[in-house]
Amino acid sequence: MTPNGYRYVEFALWVGSVATAIVVVLAIPSLIVGNGLVTLKYALFVVGFLLFGVGSFAIQPTPRGRGPVSRLFSMSLDGGKAFGFEQRIQELPPLDGRNLPFEDRVSRNVKVFVTSLIVLGVSILLEVGLGVTAG
């Protein structure tokens, strides 16, 4: 596989694992304390919407020379160092410990934005696909 291929495999594994973790973490209290799938649907919508907002700001290009006010609205989630779970993703097949350098991976900003779309997609799947409604 090409280095670019490993880059996109790491991207898919990251987005899939984070989206799955969000769904599972929200499902446990929704099913125990809340109103089951209805609560899960709303919780996924709220978290997905918040991630969408953060991801939308993060993927914007960095303003250059526009003054201090425009820099207030720019942000980045890339810190230059990998988190612990990102290192564990490098051990999963088909990466098998190749340990892509952090600079060669897809930006964490893009990953958060795509994760938000998947979380929102699961929320709409619960409503439209499975017919989970409040009434």
Amino acid letter for position 31: L
At 134 the pLDDT is 72
Q: 26-53, pLDDT tens digit by residue?
A: 999 999 998 889 999 999 999 999 999 9
98 pLDDT more than 80: no
Enter the tokens of residue 66.
Answer: 């526009």
**Residue owning tokens 């350098």:** 101
Residue 58: CB partners within 8 Å, gap ≥ 6?
Answer: 75, 76, 77, 108, 109, 112, 113
Q: Which of 14, 119, 113 minimizes the C-alpha distance to 56?
A: 113
Q: Are the CB atoms for 26 and 116 separated by under 8 Å?
A: no
pLDDT band at residue 11 using 50, 70 and 90 as cut-offs: very high
Q: Which two tokens stand for residue 9?
A: 């495999």
Residue 96: its pLDDT value, please?
A: 83
Range with lowest mean pLDDT among 15-24, 60-69, 96-105: 60-69
Percent of residues, the chain, with pLDDT higher than 90: 50
Q: How confident is the model at residue 67 (pLDDT cuts 50, 70, 90)?
A: low
Residue 135's pLDDT is: 64
Cα-Cα-Cα-Cα torsion 86, 71, 53, 100, nearest 10 degrees, comes to -20
The yes-or-no verdict on residue 97 having pLDDT over 80 is no
